[in-house]
Structure 1
Amino acid sequence: MEFNPNAKLDSSQLQPSSGGGGGGVALGGGLGLIVMILGLIFGFNPGDIMGGVPSNAGNNSAASNQYEHCQTGADVQADRECRWVAYVNSVQSYWNTQFQQGQYKPAPTVPFTGAVNTACGAANSQVGPFYCPADQKVYIDTEFINQLLQQLGAQGGYSAEAYIIAHEYGHHIQTLTGQLQKVQSAGNQTGPDSPQVRLEVQADCYAGVWFKNSTSDPNSPIAKVTQDDLNRIADAAAAVGDDRIQASTAGQVNPETWTHGSAKMRQNWLGKGFTSGDPNVCSQAFTAQDLEA
């Protein structure tokens, strides 16, 4: 993945972590290696136990002013941390064009280290990157993410990181369209055909749509997406499949406990999004009879 050195970056789309708490269910990308894996094996929702982090976790202020110097795409070359601003800016810029003027509500990304308080409760790094619908923010431990990718056997790299961000913003789109609320109102169902799995593969589809369109705007922070990038995002999508994680951690696969979909499902819908470049295609995640087809 190459960055546009002339693109203007808006660091205000990344916010320092702050205090929080309360209800709501956070949605992850399937990357947590402790809470998320236990949830996949035993069938509970990781969001239900996110309150287990001490209440002072939100005092983390490491992200405060951390990205103010990230002004242009060229700054990514000077400081790799600026890539997070580029990812978020590009994803949100694309989705802003897909809503009628003034109807897209920007969602900040909150980088944190170790632990964080949110409107969905407290969480630590092991929960993985997640989106909290209660405060409409994306949370990610930027220092821990590459370790997670490596432990899951993914190749990693810029494109894999961008896929994770794009997936979480897919959940934000689902909030704005009402799809997320509809699924959550149906209860905490699991299984390969469950609404929860369909929600996750739709978010993968949305991520693919963004990748397809990420370089279409000459002002985009993303200048080039290569075949290697596409291979890496497909690899990352497969790595976070429920079957892959269950096989590597429990030694067996139990589809009835799936919450995010199989590796093939996730790659399939990521591919549908990228091939079409059309977010309307992603609505088919809720009507398709076979999510792997």
Structure 2
Amino acid sequence: MRLDDERESNNIDDIRGSGGGGVRGRTPIRIGGIGGVLLVLGAMYFGVDPRIVLNLLDQGSGGAPSVVAQQQASSSSPTAPASDPQKQFLSRVLASTEDVWTAYFQQMGKTYHDPRLVLFSGGVRSACGYAETSVGPFYCPADQKVYLDLTFFRELKDRLGAGGDFAQAYVVAHEIGHHVQNELGIMEQVNRSGAAAKGATGTSVRTELQADCFAGVWARRADDAKRILQTGDVEEGLNAAAAVGDDRLERQAQGYVVPDSFTHGTSAQRASWFRRGLSSGDVRQCDTFSASTL
């Protein structure tokens, strides 16, 4: 990606090493709202927790999700270095999403409110409750913040085979896609709908696939404006989207697939909706909730 000359966002809170809600020693991996069938690999999902999107019942409660596995955490939280290239890169990605969505909202006659990106280590308390690193990146609509432990990118590359700078940008853009949903009132509509959340055609899958599509819209518009994409970037994004499909993760975790437990969509669906946003650059092409076929 060509971002070296782009501005950095001021909307980043780096609380790594500050003990921002994390725990020490041998601690449980806690996965909220995803389901035990995914076990350890289920923790690799990125995207907003379906419970957060659909219920928003635990805001500020700090309640712990169910325990499904255990991991060995470090005895102390890492401290962010004074010069952090990865943080700088993510800051530029975030700034790019701010520029793209601010301009797009202006075209729609709306005002876009920038979210904040919180970098944490180990665990964090948000307005949507407590989450550990193993939950993966997530967006909390209650405080309009994206939460990310950078160790996720190592897992994405090493365990799921989705490395590269644009794969990381896609993760951030997907979470910002949830913020766009929140800004447009989509999350509130979903919350009020009372429709079934889980399952291959449930509202959770439709919510996640739309965020994938919005990530593609960002990439298309950012590239049109500043030519940020380089050879191989699109493939990295598509690979990252496919790597975290429900079917692939379930097959890796347990050897078989249970569509009724889907919360994010299949690998093919996630890549397809990301490509749709990338090809069109139009949020109107991202209406997963009206689509008869996902």
* 1:79 equivalenced with 2:85 (yes/no): yes
Pair 1:9-2:40 in alignment: no
Aligned to 2:278: 274
Give the aligned partner of residue 289 of structure 1. Answer: 292
State how 1:101-180 maps to structure 2 within 5 Å. Answer: 103-142=111-150, 144-180=151-187
Q: Does 1:91 align with 2:91?
A: no
State the distance in 1 between where 2:235 and 2:32 align. 25
Q: 1:121 to 1:150 in 2, by over 3 A?
A: same
> SS where residue 125 of structure 2 aligns?
strand
Correspondence 1:194 to 2:202: yes
Contact kept? 1:108, 1:137, Cα under 8 Å: yes
Distance 1:113 1:159, change over 3 A: same
Partner of residue 63 from structure 2, selected from 38, 41, 51: 51
- Cα drift, residue 216 of structure 1: 2.9
Q: Residues 236 and 61 from structure 1, CA distance in 2 versus in 1: closer, same or farther, beyond 3 angstroms?
A: closer
RMSD: 3.0
SS in 2 for 1:134: coil
Contact 1:132 1:138 in 2 (8 A): yes
Counterpart amino acid of 1:9?
E
Shift in alpha-carbon separation, 1:36–1:252, aligned structure 2, 3 A: farther
CA contact (8 A) 2:12 2:91 kept: yes
Measure the CA separation in 1 of the matches of 2:247 and 2:161: 15
Q: Deviations 1:184-205 (Å, cap 9, x if unpaired)?
A: 2335621111111111100000
TM-score with structure 1 setting the length: 0.78
The separation in 1 between residues aligned to 2:243 and 2:216, in whole angstroms, is 16
Is the contact between residue 40 and residue 242 of structure 1 (CA under 8 Å) also seen in structure 2?
no
1:207 to 204, 215, 236: 215
Q: Does 1:233 pair with 2:237?
A: yes
* Cα contact 2:11–2:117 (8 A) shared by 1: yes
AA at the equivalent of 2:293: D
Contact 1:14–1:109 (Cα < 8 Å) also in 2: yes
- Do the aligned residues in 2 keep the contact of 1:35 with 1:46 (CA within 8 Å)? no
Say if 1:92 and 1:98 are closer, same or farther in 2 by CA, change over 3 A.
Answer: same
Check the 8 A contact 2:217/2:277 in 1, yes or no.
Answer: yes
**1:269 aligned partner, one-letter code:** W
Distance (whole Å) between structure 1 residues aligned to residue 101 and residue 243 of structure 2: 26
Deviations 1:123-142 (A, max 9, x none): 11000000001101000001
**Percent identity (aligned):** 36
Amino acid at match of 1:15: D
Structure 2: gaps (5+ residues) = 22-28, 43-48, 53-57, 66-76
Q: How far apart in 2 are the matches of 1:252 and 1:102?
A: 45
Residues 46 and 127 of structure 1 are in contact (CA less than 8 Å); yes or no, is this contact kept in structure 2?
no
C-alpha contact 2:14 2:119 (8 A) present in aligned 1: yes
Residue of structure 1 equivalent to 2:46: none
SS in 2 for 1:169: helix
Q: Number of aligned pairs? A: 255
Structure 2 residue matching 1:9: 3-state secondary structure: coil
CA drift of 1:214 comes to 1.4
Q: In the superposition, relative to structure 1, how do residues 261 and 103 fare at CA in structure 2: closer, same or farther (>3 Å)?
A: same
Q: Per the alignment, do residues 166 and 87 of structure 1 end up closer, same or farther by CA in structure 2, a change over 3 Å counting?
A: same
Structure 1: gaps spanning 5 or more residues: 22-32, 54-59, 70-77
Residues 1:249 and 2:253 are matched in the alignment? yes
Q: Is the 8 A contact 1:37 1:249 kept in 2?
A: no
